[in-house]
Amino acid sequence: MIIRLLLTPFSWVYGLITGIRNLLYDKSILKSYPFDIPVIVVGNIIAGGTGKTPVVTWIARELSGKYKVAILSRGYGRKTDGFKVVDSASTPETVGDEPLEMKLLLPDLIIAVDRNRKRGIEILKSGKYGKIDIILMDDGFQHRRVKPGFSIILDNFNRPMHREPLLPAGLRRESLSELKRADLIIQTKKETVITPIPGESKILLITGIAHPEALVSEITKTGRLTHHLKFNDHHEYTSPDGMEIGRIYRSYQSANPEGKNEPSLIILTTGKDYVKLSRLPELSGLPIQWIPAPPPVDAAEKNEIIKKINQYVEKALGNR
């Protein structure tokens, strides 16, 4: 609390700077670029933890039955620049962990990364990757150079944006007044939505996500959780991490040899952690499983959300 108070004056400065920037875009002094293709942005005004990636994946899956959808992400955490398409040769270092996770779930979709979203959209719609009907932007509400046709803001029920101070005292990126740019605000994580945990084995859980509490709680209820190694969001797993995970796994197996009727141990993780852990040679041959994160949206709201998105898409495509 004391640190937050000390940082509050800096939040005022941050708010002034972002407010002036947004005003310049609103007054067209700084240029925003619209596109002749439906562009949907799924973002937030709180840094991390609202469920953007599972929501983007869900929307893409719903729309791809009728339209040719491409996903454009910044590729957070990658060590490359420019425009790249996620393919079988991609790594977390070249495209980021979340785009790789989405490619695991949506192998038939074009998924690309580019920090310059305007350039990324122009390349995707150029025809180089075939006819594309819709571009879904994973994050990018603050990327004002792009003027999306439909903006979705996610608000974490457990950490609502109206209670969060501006950076750096809190995690809010913009003034709440900027929500006027959103076409749809979705409150996420009102209920615990977890994919069923596979198998009957004991579980060594590895997480490198912003808020693993719901997942940990769900696994704990089964009585199968033996260890939980918790890392920071977007953690870059290293050889020592792999050795430690392997040590814990082998220690359990040694203490519970076959024939003692003890359950075996599996290493369970999230999708964006799996794409990094599976590349560690120290974990080669170990039973690593991952559970896709379902969209953290109330079941009762899903149909209405997709209905509103479809109405926008049909109108946008009809006007082309």
Q: Please state the domain extents for the chain.
A: 30-189+297-318, 202-291
**Which of 142-156, 163-177, 292-306 is predicted with the least confidence, judged by mean pLDDT?**
292-306
What's the mean pLDDT in 184-190?
89
Residue 194: the pLDDT is 67
Residue 294 scores a pLDDT above 90: no
Q: Give yes or no for a contact between 265 and 202, defined as CB atoms under 8 angstroms apart.
A: yes
Contact in structure between 162 and 6 (CB atoms under 8 Å): no
* Position 107 pLDDT exceeds 60: yes
pLDDT tens sequence across 295-315: 888 888 899 999 999 999 999
Please, where are the H alpha helices in the chain? 2-26, 52-64, 92-95, 97-105, 117-124, 213-221, 239-255, 271-277, 299-318
Contact criterion met (CB below 8 Å) for 225 and 268 = no
**pLDDT for 193:** 64
- What tens digit of pLDDT does each residue of 12-45 get? 999 999 999 999 999 999 999 999 999 999 999 9
The Cα–Cα gap between 240 and 10 comes to: 38
Share of the chain above pLDDT 70, in %: 97
Instruction: For the chain, give the mean pLDDT.
Output: 91
Using 50, 70 and 90 to split pLDDT, how confident is the model at 58?
Answer: very high
Task: Output the CATH code of domain 202-291.
Answer: 3.40.50
Q: Over the stretch 220-253, which tens digit does the pLDDT of each residue have?
A: 988 899 999 999 999 999 999 999 999 999 999 8
Domain 30-189+297-318 - what CATH class? Answer: alpha beta
CB 60 within 8 A of CB 54: no
Q: In this model, does residue 118 exceed pLDDT 70?
A: yes
Matching CATH topology for 30-189+297-318 and 202-291? Answer: yes
Q: Calculate the alpha carbon distances from 112 to 98, 253, 293 in Å.
A: 11, 41, 21
The pLDDT of residue 141 is above 70: yes
| pLDDT tens digits for range 68-90 | 999 999 999 899 999 999 999 99
- Residue 262's pLDDT is 72
What does pTM read for this prediction?
Answer: 0.90
